[in-house]
Amino acid sequence: MKNSDNNSSLDSRINQTLKNVQGLLKGRSIPGKVLLTRRADPPEDPSLRSSTFGRSFSENDAGTSDQMDMSKEAEAQGTSKQQNNNMTTNKLKPTNSNVEITSKEVQKSVMGARATDSARVMKFTKELSGSTVTLEKLRELAWSGVPPYMRPNIWRLLLGYASPNSDRREGVLRRKRLEYLDCVAQFYDIPDTERSDDEINMLRQISVDCPRTVPDVIFFQQEQVQKSLERILYTWAIRHPASGYVQGINDLATPFLVVFLSEHLEGDIHKWSISDLSPDKISNVEADCYWCLSKLLDGMQDHYTFAQPGIQRLVFKLKELVNRIDEPVSRHMEEQGLEFLQFAFRWFNCLLIREIPFHLVTRLWDTYLAEGDALPDFLIYIFASFLLTWSEELQKLDFQELVMFLQHLPTQNWTHQELEMVLSRAFMWHKDFSEIPNEVDGTTGTDSKVPSLRTFKYTVLQISHDDLSILSTGNL
């Protein structure tokens, strides 16, 4: 009888949650698709995840045809009961929205809308086939995830690297790729005798960091891959002297490298070999990575200048947001003496690449790039949602346990369901706070007891480069 009551209560919560979400997202089409049209991937065997990438980047695996959608629909329906039994329930109760979401609820909602995937692919195809791409429409579609085989073209467009005009697109790419080659010849392919001492030290640091990049993915241990990363990073650093190379930027190049290589290599990333490609193709991939990395970092320049004030500012905002969403967690962390800078600095520095399985990174970056210029502020909500995934666990840990837990988060078995839930919560909280004038990004009302972040005087901490290096690598 008790189990029956619990099931009834859960069903009631599910229905109410979906009504709340649908009401909240009324008139806004972007993240509605996160909950209502996202395909539910079957659970993966954890024993296989460590040795396989988990998601193919080939066109054959993209699931773009109606026939493939129907077959996967049948497969998904056949395994839905097993998924519902195995999904870990993850509760979070924000004080502002009174919405409780669990991974099981998200799974039910996505399973009910699998048939819309083919419709979304058709929308992508229609948008890309026009003479001029409407970037705002493309952003709305991309926010909820991009079909893997379309990802290279869509990322180039979202970042403003490729021209929205189809007649000019190839010409622009050709010119930019040649420009990259000229930069490599001018700055990288020269003897050390022509470099300054600072440039030699910077190149040495990059050469040390490249082998450490995404160490759990064998592909990145290939010498040729590391050389490509080295060329991209060094050329970018030389052309951006205000920041130069900062540890963590090496991580930011990896999603671009994987996505643009996926146009030429198929199947499991662990079986990829960059040596299978011609020098011209490798050069084009490097150029695309370089320009897209440049476009991404143009929108967050002060994240990587001296003392990295942009990141410090976002960490400060994250702390305030968490306090407003989940005050008990915020209070407990403060009582234990844990500073947000001790764990969140790396999150902002590497954009969560080191915190989640690599096979989920490109999906996360679909949303990043769809946000465009608004990305830095939206990161606050994503990271708050990410942190509060473990709301109950965090309140049980002392300082040392908190530090260890937050540096080694239990995300190794995460699937797309957990990531989609993080993004959905982030959107809803952003929606909530943007509609309340005196909250995180608003202005303070005369009778408000909760000050806006704009009322805080923020002084950049004078952190040494050694301390920043420690924070970015997590070696506290």
What confidence tens digit (pLDDT) does each residue in 144-172 have? 999 999 999 999 999 999 999 999 999 99
For the cut 70, the answer to whether the pLDDT of residue 24 exceeds it is no
What confidence tens digit (pLDDT) does each residue in 331-351 have? 999 999 999 999 999 999 999
For the cut 90, the answer to whether the pLDDT of residue 370 exceeds it is yes
Q: What is the largest CA-CA distance in the chain?
A: 81
The band of 414, judged by pLDDT with boundaries at 50, 70 and 90, is: very high
Residue 16: what pLDDT? 52
The band of 473, judged by pLDDT with boundaries at 50, 70 and 90, is: very low
Lowest mean pLDDT among 183-192, 264-273, 299-308, 467-476: 467-476
The band of 435, judged by pLDDT with boundaries at 50, 70 and 90, is: low
Amino acid letter, 247: Q
Residue 62: what pLDDT? 36
Residue 436: what pLDDT? 60
For the cut 50, the answer to whether the pLDDT of residue 261 exceeds it is yes
Residue 117: what pLDDT? 80
Topology of domain 166-298, CATH: Helicase, Ruva Protein; domain 3 (1.10.8)
Q: What integer best gives the mean pLDDT of the chain?
A: 78
Number of other residues whose CB lies within 10 A of the CB of residue 68: 16
The band of 9, judged by pLDDT with boundaries at 50, 70 and 90, is: low
For domain 309-471, the CATH class is mainly alpha
What confidence tens digit (pLDDT) does each residue in 247-260 have? 999 999 999 999 99
Structure tokens at 21: 């979400």
Of 417, 423, 360, 427, nearest in space to 108 by CA: 417
The band of 269, judged by pLDDT with boundaries at 50, 70 and 90, is: very high
Average pLDDT value for residue range 131-142: 96
Where in the chain is CATH 1.10.472.80?
A: 309-471
Where in the chain is CATH 1.10.8.270?
A: 166-298
The band of 434, judged by pLDDT with boundaries at 50, 70 and 90, is: confident
Of 422, 427, 389, nearest in space to 406 by CA: 389
At residue 165, the 3 state secondary structure works out as strand
Structure tokens at 281: 């193709």
For the cut 60, the answer to whether the pLDDT of residue 133 exceeds it is yes
Contacts of range 26-33, beta carbons closer than 8 Å, 24 or more positions apart: 28/431, 29/140, 30/139, 30/140, 30/143, 30/144, 30/370, 30/427, 31/143, 31/144, 31/423, 31/424, 31/427, 31/428, 33/116, 33/120, 33/143, 33/144, 33/145
Residue 433: what pLDDT? 86
362 or 88, which is more confident: 362
